[in-house]
Amino acid sequence: MGRRNLWLLGEEILYPYDKLHVNRKLEEKTNMEITRCAWVNEDPLYIDYHDKEWGKPLYDDLKLFELLMLEGMQAGLSWYTVLKKREHYRKVFDGFDPHIIAHYDDNKIEELMQDTGIIRNRLKINAIVKNAKVYLDICREEGSFSDYVWSFAGGGPVINEWNTRAEVPATTVQSDSMSKALKKKGMTFVGSTICYAFMQASGMVNDHTMDCFCRK
């Protein structure tokens, strides 16, 4: 039998055939050493979302629509709750295609109300349908949903310099303005707090705290 090369990770000796285990161990060790925003828990799903999505500038019309709709779903709950259901939301809401959602009928609404994989709140489900219609109106009137919502960030991104989670606001003058404008156009579940969470997540504002590795 030929000699097997050894991999050393801390006090653990691993063999090359177990590279997947090595990579996992390195990832776990790295995650423990990295400083992230204080709101992130230990769930790999949440870590991945924070590291790869949250605060990264997003300009795609449809992805922005999806994000805004999902942010609205967390009203009274938490983003973590919604994030765990996001893939199922995408499946049952036709990939968040507003052209399809805008034509949902009562039968579809009732079907969604029976789906345990989403938040079964009739007001929230109806809001997505109504907001899809408003989204299409905005695109016709403004030319781009992305350009429209980004205008509330002054073209952004706005780079903030918060030292702790406690310093990060729940709303701003900009999110107030966005909320007021979207409501005027007919959208619901777009209060200022939801709009600011949307602005944070889509990178219109960078609210990673100064100690977070994403600021390096």
List, for residues 113-132, the tens digit of each pLDDT value: 999 999 999 999 999 999 99
Q: What is the pLDDT of residue 155?
A: 76
User: Right CATH number for 59-206 from 3.40.50.300, 3.20.20.70, 3.90.1720.10, 1.10.340.30?
Assistant: 1.10.340.30
Q: Which whole number is the average pLDDT over 134-141?
A: 98
Identity at 67, one-letter amino acid code: L
CA-to-CA distance for 105 and 109, rounded, in angstroms?
Answer: 6
Q: Assess whether pLDDT exceeds 70 at residue 25.
A: no
Q: Which whole number is the average pLDDT over 76-99?
A: 97
pTM: 0.85
With cut-offs at 50, 70 and 90, classify the pLDDT of residue 22.
very low
Q: Which whole number is the average pLDDT over 41-50?
A: 96
Q: Which whole number is the average pLDDT over 134-156?
A: 95
Dihedral of the alpha carbons of 21, 23, 25, 28, in degrees to the nearest 10? -140
Q: What is the pLDDT of residue 215?
A: 85
Residues of the chain with pLDDT > 70: what percent? 85
The ranges assigned to domains in the chain are: 7-49, 59-206
Catalytic residues: 49, 71, 79
Q: Which whole number is the average pLDDT over 155-159?
A: 87
With cut-offs at 50, 70 and 90, classify the pLDDT of residue 203.
very high
Residue 109: exposed, middle, or buried by beta-carbon count in 10 A (0-12, 13-18, 19+)?
middle
Q: Assess whether pLDDT exceeds 80 at residue 85.
A: yes
